[in-house]
Amino acid sequence: MNIVVYEDGCENFYPLVNILPQFNLRVGMKTIAEHTAPFFKRSRIDFIARPLFELKEMSPKEPTLYLSSRLLLVRAFSVPRRDAKLEVGPESLGLVKYKPPLPKSLDDIKDAMAAVKESKRVDGLVLNNIWDLIAFNEEILVNQYRLYRKKNRINKRFHIIGNRKNLYVSKDAEVHKQVYFDASDGPIYVDSGVAIRPFSIIIGPAYIGPGTIVERAKIVKSSIGPHCRIGGEVEACIFQGYSNKYHEGFIGHSFVGEWVNLGALTTNSDLKNNYGPVRVAVRQKLLDTGMMKLGCFIGDHTKLGIGTLIPTGAVIGSFVNFAGGGMMSRYVPDFNWMIQNKHDNYDLERAISTAKIVMKRRNVRMSKQYERVIRNFHEQIRRSN
């Protein structure tokens, strides 16, 4: 059977999905797509996304299982043998389709979902908004650790609190003997090529992605994607990958996109003074998250200068450049250049040129397709304004 993972409700995941398909968002140790794959080991997974990403149009001819990017499966399920919707609670988050026509686009999926009458319950977590990525991250980390942990002999020189079986360190990771692991509250997975320098503390559940450097940091219950540079204090966060927070400062209960740079002493608030629920701007409307601790959401290619202070529940778009220190606004739109409270549009050519330099520093060359995504996204913003 064909498997297709499709974008769903992307408008609630701004700014994290501006130039990144929703199914590539990180949660736990993996992206949503990578999290889904082990449940269907013998099947190839294809994707349907917004036209922005120029994915090759599908032409399914065999029975196909469609899965929403908002669905984080908890356990495998038997696929129905006739057309049926997949449901978690009251929500429909996919369908299996045998009878033609088979959906080829996001609109086709919506139409097919409305036409199918039968349903099947599946076990999973549902991502309705960006803050759910933070809310579910610890649970997903624990579940994924059980799937991906390999047998290894942990070096006794490590300082470990908790069960040693809750710590996996890749053979080619470089971990200094003066690193402290606390796996008493959850597992810790240190991936290939990671370097953890002296006096760092890792408290689980936590994941440190391939090629990441941890420099005298305290990382608590967080997922750090590939090729990041992490210093200071990070708590209950997700770093998508290729981002820098190399200096002192605190980032908590937040999601940091790709190619982000946080200057020295950049710090966010993740708790209101009245201990009330945090509200977050979704489509420029403040929504109550129901969460007492929640930080910020930072889009790809954003750069925040030294001494930046980020308010509780802030939403910072992609290609934002903030300099001069002090408190940011709670909501900052995309392609915004801000110096000492002066706002200006971030020139597209200048933004792309800087992005190419930044990516080259990680030995990544910006593809023509990725550049087109950035240009098309910028054009969408221009037209909407």
**φ, ψ for residue 74 (rounded to 5)?**
-100, -35
The verdict on 317 and 373 lying in the same domain is yes
Residue 297: CATH number of its domain:
2.160.10.10
Q: How far apart are CA 340 and CA 343, in angstroms?
A: 8
The verdict on 179 and 269 lying in the same domain is yes
Q: How many domains does the chain have?
A: 2
14-68 pLDDT tens trace: 999 999 999 999 999 999 999 999 999 888 899 999 999 999 888 888 999 999 9
Domain end, chosen from 128, 145, 169, is at 128
Block mean pLDDT (10 aa), the chain, length 385: 95 96 98 95 92 89 94 94 95 94 94 94 96 97 90 74 92 94 96 96 98 98 98 98 97 98 98 96 88 98 97 97 93 91 90 97 96 97 86
The verdict on 183 and 116 lying in the same domain is no
Does the CA dihedral 111-79-62-54 come out positive or negative? positive
- Residue 153 has a pLDDT of 67
| Cα-to-chain-centroid distance, residue 225 | 9
- Residue 179 has a pLDDT of 95
- Residue 384 has a pLDDT of 85
- Residue 167 has a pLDDT of 94
The verdict on 161 and 263 lying in the same domain is yes
Does the CA dihedral 70-76-77-82 come out positive or negative? positive
The verdict on 13 and 137 lying in the same domain is no
User: Which stretch of DSSP H or E encloses residue 113?
Assistant: helix 106-115
Q: How far apart are CA 363 and CA 357, in angstroms?
A: 10
The verdict on 124 and 189 lying in the same domain is no
- Residue 156 has a pLDDT of 64
Residue 44: CATH number of its domain:
3.90.550.30
The verdict on 357 and 379 lying in the same domain is yes
267-281 pLDDT tens trace: 999 999 999 999 998
Domain end, chosen from 128, 145, 176, is at 128
Are 216 and 233 spatial neighbours (Cβ–Cβ below 8 Å)?
A: no
The verdict on 123 and 188 lying in the same domain is no
Domain end, chosen from 101, 128, 155, is at 128
Q: How far apart are CA 311 and CA 298, in angstroms?
A: 12
Are 210 and 230 spatial neighbours (Cβ–Cβ below 8 Å)?
A: no
The verdict on 184 and 92 lying in the same domain is no
The verdict on 85 and 137 lying in the same domain is no
- Residue 307 has a pLDDT of 97
The verdict on 111 and 152 lying in the same domain is no
**φ, ψ for residue 27 (rounded to 5)?**
-150, 125
The secondary structure of 332-344 as a DSSP string is: E-SSEEEETTEEE
- Residue 359 has a pLDDT of 97
- Residue 250 has a pLDDT of 98
- Residue 253 has a pLDDT of 98
The range of the structural domain enclosing residue 74 comes to 2-128
The verdict on 261 and 145 lying in the same domain is yes
- Look at the block and give the residue holding tokens 């966010």: 268
- Residue 149 has a pLDDT of 84
